[in-house]
Structure 1
């Protein structure tokens, strides 16, 4: 039987971990898949949706910041690395939005650079979904 609380917790953790907040969504997903392996696709979809929406929130923040901040304001090492990747590879860099530390910067700066949001949404979801599929797949084998 599905528990609404478990699914809500996974969604919130996934959303939060895609922003600058810590979320621990991989641990939530791993625990839920281990407890209810028959619900693997349900848990995977909740984690992927929550994490993608969290990254799109960060993307939207970047769009909002675009008119208020110049490139010199992005002075942290991770921000500079993300900016260099985006300038070199364009929105395709968003396939790496799942990476710790750099991923949040990629989403923020992609919005700041006004990358097209439909393509950004698809690329972010692909990267996030793949990461969660690996986590869920490993847990289903244990």
Structure 2
């Protein structure tokens, strides 16, 4: 159950909804609940799944972005799309960065980035972030 909860927390965090999967991961690590490798895997999988949903928004429903309920403000999307045009697909390695990561995955969908390269780059970036969090925790916890 804890793995599913962490997965859902990470998924929500990557779908433009507020959330803190990092805090959830740290709480589980601190309490000794679960296998650390499986916790990192669950957080990574959930966060990548959330980014995939955001990519789908960009690919298929960006034309609805002017509606007030759309989860990305037009100014954030315009900024992310500009960065994406300037730096290209490799920018997806930074999809884990708070505030800018979600608009980047939306821009990747709108730019019609193919699914496999998208998943590879986003997975590398997000797994790297969770591994760094685990490594910092392990170093602190001794």
TM over 0.5: yes
Aligned to 1:134: 132
- What is the CA–CA distance in structure 1 between the aligned matches of 2:42 and 2:74, rounded to whole Å? 34
* Residue 60 (structure 2) aligns with: 64
- Does 1:116 find its partner at 2:114? yes
**SS, match of residue 88 in structure 2:** helix
Return closer, same or farther for 1:100/1:92 CA change in 2, 3 Å cut-off: same
Listed as ranges, the gaps of 5+ residues in structure 1 are none
Report Cα offsets for 1:52-73 as digits up to 9, x if no partner. Answer: 000011001111025x369xxx
Q: For the Cα contact (< 8 Å) 2:77–2:106, is it kept in 1?
A: no
| Corresponding position of 2:70 | none
Q: Which runs of 4+ in 1 moved over 3 A?
A: none
Report the aligned-residue RMSD: 2.0
Q: TM-score, normalised by structure 1?
A: 0.86
CA distance in 1, matches of 2:88, 2:61: 19
Q: Distance in 2 between matches of 1:139 and 1:115?
A: 34
**Partner of 1:19 in structure 2?**
15
Higher helix share: 1
Scaled by the length of structure 2, the TM-score of the pair is 0.86
Tell me whether 1:28 sits opposite 2:24 in the alignment: yes
Find the aligned partners of 1:69 and 1:112 in 2 and give their Cα distance: 12
Aligned 8 A contact 1:79 1:102 in 2: no
Residues 102-133 of structure 1 deviation map (CA, whole Å, 9 limit, x = unaligned): 11100001001101110000000111001111
Whole-Å separation in 2 of the counterparts to 1:75 and 1:38: 40
Instruction: Quote the residue 1:91 is aligned against.
Output: 89
State the Cα distance separating 1:134 from its structure 2 match.
0.8
What CA distance in whole angstroms lies between the structure 1 residues aligned with 2:64 and 2:36?
42
In the alignment, the residues of structure 1 paired with residue 129 and residue 33 of structure 2 have an alpha-carbon distance, to the nearest angstrom, of 17
Structure 2 residue runs of 5 or longer lacking an equivalent are: 66-72
Map residues 99-110 of structure 1 onto 2, 5 A cutoff.
99-110=97-108
